[in-house]
Structure 1
Amino acid sequence: MSRRDIEFTSEGTTLRGWFYPADNANGKLPTVVMAHGFSAVKEMYLDRYAEHFAANGLNVLVHDNKSFGDSDGLPRQEIDPWLQVRGYRDAITYACTMEETDPSRIGVWGSSFSGGHAIVLGAIDSRVKAVVSQVPLINGYENLRALVRPDFIDGLRASFDEDRLNRFRGEEPVMVPVVDEDPLASSALPTPDSYEWFTKTGETRAPNWRNEVTQRSLEYLSEYIPESFIDKVSPTPLLLMPAENDVLAPTRFAIAAYEKAFEPKKMIILPGGHFDAYVDAFELSSGEALAWFQNQL
């Protein structure tokens, strides 16, 4: 499997990643653009998806989001969804300049937080001709309330305001853990499966992953509602793949949002929880995504 390191500029910041040319290919071919979800870096199984797609006739461009992994950007570990969407759009532009790419056949793939980005991109970027959204964030406002106890919400909002004031004064941003072994402790993703997946995957595949994000990342999460774009993706084909028992990005949000989308669309419910898509359900999730891209591109 051939792979080369790439870098491109997005709003003055260098983003880095990998380009996988399709195996044994000639001429210009479809290209899939990918990035990872909340705090995750490309080494956390995106290479497996890219290798599978490239082995079956698709070019793939994988990049780390701004301020994460190998990409530049300050403050580090800050998740701004709209900056990440624009990073995807700059990745698409870069991909279109490559000699291997047919610019009229661009697909986007996203998972979890970036699954929301894929929906938004399908609605706003006319260059996107096929969308795959896996275990997606659908509604950050509601999702935060599904993860945080109601009696903690006011305190969380107060901490957002305090952090905003301190940053205005020139102080460093407050950092919070992405995950914690204790689901009742303060963390961005307070579910046991989040702790298990991030710590295990970080140790075995991605030593450059860091267990922290800025607190403002949670405020941005609460303001981000990809669901508001899902009825605008059509006529671009949309494949939505929620997990059947997703407690991090609740399954019910994705199924309800799917009903708002117009044709052409397809939904595959993956077995297991949020993170099983990358491991136990990898063959299904990657196979369905591959078939979608092959059929639509």
Structure 2
Amino acid sequence: MTKTRARELSRLRYAKNDVDFESEGTRCAGWLYTPEGVSNPPVVVMAGGFGAERTFGLPEIAKEFVAREYAVFLFDYRNFGDSDGEPRNLVNASRHVEDWKAAIDHVRGLNAIDRRKIALWGTSYSGGHVIEAAADDHRIAAVVAQVPFVDGRAVARASGLKKSLKGTVAGVRDLVRKYTFRSPHTVPIAGYPDEFAVLNTPDAMEGMETIVPDPPVWENEVPARVFLEIPFYRPISSVEDVPCPMLLIAGRDDDIVPVSSVQSAAEAADATYLELPIGHFDVYDDALDTVVGYEAAFLDRNVRV
């Protein structure tokens, strides 16, 4: 983000309130941002990507939308951040999608926003979740998914056979511990290329360190059972069922999410597709202004109608 833009946002006048909700009986922590002086604004619902909490680079993006007179509802999944639930940092796509649906239902009961104009915003793993959630909800006004995880098969192929086999062994070990009522077998979320981690591409560790708040209070670990899920999580199979306008933004230099998978999803859904010369984590930093500008313009065209 540019220094000029950072100064502008520092003068932004808005309210930020704790607005928690329940998903499958578990409390999830939410923040509702509302721009000052705007009556019943449209709302953007947001949550983090793989293994991420709501504090991981998302408040800055939320403020960008608030500056454009959108409300934002930003939440933590169950088992993450300020939300309840055990085991901690459990990444499970179907659970996450249920949390998205619960968050959307809760937002529809709020009085401070225009409940007819709800947009979903996802990034990386949650870029797939917003597709799944919108496919089951004809009242969503628009979907924005940046560097979205849309095809687990493509991601698994890009990871290579050696990592996939090692991940499968770790995942089975974790499941054995789960069903024998022991604490999870965990693996690092992010690591360097010579380390075993869910994300170990050249920019993964540095990218995560960029978005994790300072000082970090984050445990860089996830129950290994997620390796058994990743190849079978394919939001690309649901894109044609999404009835609202969608914007999919891909990074040409993304070494986590294959750009071809995002392009294929956009073509299948007849969605707006934008490919930029950026890496996976640039959307939170160097390219933030550019990416949010495109996203806000898309929402203005499709939500403010």
User: Is the TM value for this pair above 0.5?
Assistant: yes
Q: Distance in 2 between matches of 1:243 and 1:172?
A: 37
Partner of 2:36: 23
Tell me, yes or no, if structure 1 residue 247 matches structure 2 residue 255: yes
| Partner amino acid, structure 1, of 2:284 | Y
TM-score normalized by the length of structure 1: 0.93
Match of 1:106 among 115, 118, 124: 118
Please give the root-mean-square deviation of Cα atoms over the aligned residues, in Å.
1.6
Residue 237 (structure 2) aligns with: 228
Whichever residue aligns with residue 191 of structure 1, its letter is: T
Q: How many residues align?
A: 290
Alpha-carbon separation, structure 2, partners of 1:48 and 1:155:
36
TM-score by length of 2: 0.90
1:157-184 Cα offsets, whole Å, 9 max, x none, are 2332333223212221100011123x13
Check the 8 A contact 1:5/1:17 in 2, yes or no.
yes
Any conservation in 2 of the 1:23–1:56 contact (CA below 8 Å)? no
SS state at 1:104 partner: coil
Contact 1:270 1:281 in 2 (8 A): no
Secondary structure of 1:125's counterpart equals coil
Q: Is the 8 A contact 2:173 2:185 kept in 1?
A: no
Name the CA distance, whole Å, in 2 between partners of 1:186 and 1:252: 25
Structure 2 partner of 1:3: 16
Give ranges in structure 1 of 5+ residues lacking alignment: none
Alpha-carbon distance in structure 2 between the residues aligned to 1:246 and 1:294: 27
SS of the aligned residue for 2:42 comes to: strand
> In the alignment, does 2:282 pair up with 1:276?
yes
1:190 lines up with 2:200 in the alignment: yes
User: Contact (CA 8 Å) 2:46, 2:73: kept in 1 or not?
Assistant: yes
Give the corresponding residue for 1:13.
26
Is the partner of 1:294 in helix, strand or coil?
A: helix
Which residue among 209, 230, 240 is the counterpart of 1:199?
209
Which stretch of structure 1 is more off in the superposition, 223-232 or 121-130?
Answer: 121-130
For residue 293 of structure 2, the aligned residue among 266, 270, 287 is: 287
CA contact (8 A) 1:122 1:129 kept: no
How much identity, in percent, do the aligned residues show?
33
CA contact (8 A) 2:150 2:262 kept: yes
Return 5+ residue gaps in structure 2 as ranges.
Answer: 1-13
Offset of residue 73 of structure 1: 1.2
* Offset at residue 115 of structure 1 (A): 0.4
Deviation track 1:92-117 (CA, whole Å, cap 9, x = no partner) reads: 11111111122211100000000011
Equivalent residue runs for 1:123-142 within 5 Å: 123-142=135-154
| Structure 1 contact 69–208 (Cα < 8 Å) conserved | no
